Amino acid sequence: MTDVERQTELDAIGAEVATCTRCRLHQTRTMAVPGEGTAATEVVFVGEGPGFNEDRQGKPFVGQAGTLLSELLGAVGWSREEVFITNVVKCRPPENRDPEPDEIAACAPFLTRQLAALDPALVVTLGRFSMARFNPGARIGQVHGTFRPADPESGAPDALTFSMYHPAAALHQGSLKATLFRDMEGVPQALVEARKLRSSKPGSAGESAAAIGSEGAAIEPGAAIEPGAAIEPAPTAQPDPLSEVSADRAETPSTQAIFSSADGLAQSAKPVERVDIAAESDPTDQLGLF
């Protein structure tokens, strides 16, 4: 599917969402919020549902939580324009209550179709409702900051999923803000691992690129990877710890190169389990938030 075809499908889904009456949330919404971003991306962020400001504007993550999400993206050199951002439910639950199971189920086909169109390498889940879709049975207090293969039933069978707290949780519990930024540091590396995983699949378009990526590729120190920029593999293939990892879709073998993160973590294909001091409890569970 070309990026134009992806965008056409996303637009069609958005038009359906805008007039959807499949669940009771349509009765109280001001505007449905299908999601926004670029169709030419490898990374999708999935939150829980629209809040007050999102409901008014029809855009995801535009309130205080949205500002924090933009800061998190900026912390790894990404922008909202480089990713796609959406939610599990597309209409605001009244008073920002948790979405009900039947509401989540009614809205699920829209997210499934968005994921099918985008075919992301990496899905970043924001909050426990989003996490539950891609990692059923997981507890966010234990898995935040880590990545693993997405549940095949999630709609993104070829993606890795990286779990994070919902940014709004940090607005209620300030200590989570540092956790969010610390976890965010692992997202680019998760994308690297997702690329390796997809490229290594037999018959994949990036199979030949995997050979390039697994050996590493030389990039000018500190050079940004521009959307669609061709990165030629170097003869002496050593990972460059200073290179940035772009969230833009890398469709050609030359842009499938593997870049190491600044801390040089995880050159293996295994998910990196981050040991976190908050792993023994889930602070947002007590708050009933996200």
Contact between 150 and ligand SF4 per CB under 6 A? no
Stretch binding ligand SF4 (CB under 6 A), from 101-109, 121-129, 161-169, 193-201 = 101-109
Contact between 13 and ligand SF4 per CB under 6 A? no
Would you give the binding string for ligand SF4 spanning residues 107-146, x where CB under 6 A is met? Answer: x---------------------------------------
Contact between 92 and ligand SF4 per CB under 6 A? no
**Burial class of residue 259 (count of CB atoms within 10 Å of its CB; 0-12, 13-18, 19+):** buried
Contact between 231 and ligand SF4 per CB under 6 A? no
State the nearest-atom distance from the C-beta of 16 to ligand SF4, in Å.
8
Contact between 22 and ligand SF4 per CB under 6 A? yes
Take residue 264 and report the two structure tokens written for it.
Answer: 């040089």
Q: Which is nearer to ligand SF4, 30 or 173 (CB)?
A: 30
Contact between 25 and ligand SF4 per CB under 6 A? yes
Residue 46's DSSP bridge partners are 86, 125
Take residue 6 and report the two structure tokens written for it.
Answer: 């992806």
Stretch binding ligand SF4 (CB under 6 A), from 2-10, 15-23, 155-163, 237-245 = 15-23
Q: How far apart are CA 17 and CA 14, in angstroms?
A: 5
Q: Which is nearer to ligand SF4, 146 or 154 (CB)?
A: 154
Q: Which is nearer to ligand SF4, 16 or 251 (CB)?
A: 16
Which residues make up the interface to ligand SF4 (CB under 6 A)?
Answer: 17, 20-23, 25-26, 32, 89-91, 103, 106-107
